[in-house]
Amino acid sequence: MKVLVTGAGRGIGKAVAEKFYNCGYEVYSNYLNTFPVFGKPIKADVSDILQVEKMFSEIGEIDILVNNAGVTLSGLFQNIQNEEILRLFNVNVFGTFNCTKFALPSMISKKKGKIINIASIWGEIGASCEVHYSASKAAIIGFTKALAKEVAPSDITVNCVSPGVIDTDMVACYEKSELKKDIPLNRLGTPKEVAKAVYFIAENDYITGHILSINGGFWR
């Protein structure tokens, strides 16, 4: 079984690649700057459709796609520049569209496949000062629900794993003691805990269109 994980050099993507690798999958680890430790490395900027097309021509057919690559953007809504918004949506939303576009044809012809998108709790409930990021992740949730219906006749499942606050570079600029105040389990999640949720979905054939939140009880 072949799996492609995007943004697999560090953080959540690295833990997802490690989990599948340790479970015996053939893992392709996409990266942009951070060379991956687990699986076969494959470089591509997911926001660039030509690079994604080339990546798929090198990998061939896959059974599982984990759309994990993502960037964040913080600041007051009115202070964010249009170029920053475009970059955010190009990676978080179009990166997911691009990889899914090239993964799907062989899945449809085989009538088998799984697509797992990494969303965010902010896409579910919204975050002040992360309005554009929240909107990009809400787009991923809508995309997941709609595509799940469209490709269900081909026995392909499409789901989201939606993390809360996970201890990676993405949140390194924040004070951990402040972050955990809002989390009932009183700690940040680990990339490995998210990876277990991704693997759980990948191993199940009857979950589709689902948003699996993994957030330590953070829900408001």
CB of 167 to ligand NAP, least distance (A): 7
Residues between 148 and 167 that touch ligand NAP (CB under 6 A):
163, 165-166
Min dist. Cβ of residue 187 to ligand NAP (A) = 12
Cβ neighbours for 46, distance < 8 A, ≥ 6 positions apart: 6, 7, 30, 32, 52, 67, 69, 91, 95, 96, 98, 99
Q: Does 170 contact ligand NAP by CB under 6 A?
A: yes
Point out which span in 7-15, 20-28, 58-66, 77-85 binds ligand NAP (CB under 6 A): 7-15
Applying CB under 6 A, does 69 fall inside the site for ligand NAP? yes
Query: Under the criterion CB under 6 A, does residue 10 sit at the interface with ligand NAP?
Result: yes
Burial class (CB in 10 A: 0-12, 13-18, 19+), 40: middle
Query: Which residues belong to the active site?
Result: 133
39 touching ligand NAP, by CB under 6 A: no
Q: Largest alpha-carbon pair distance within the chain?
A: 50
DSSP 76-102: -GGG--HHHHHHHHIIIIIHHHHHHHH
Place of tokens 């709609």: 146
What is the contact surface with ligand NAP in residues (CB under 6 A)?
6-7, 9-13, 30-34, 45-47, 68-71, 91, 95, 118, 120, 163, 165-166, 168-171
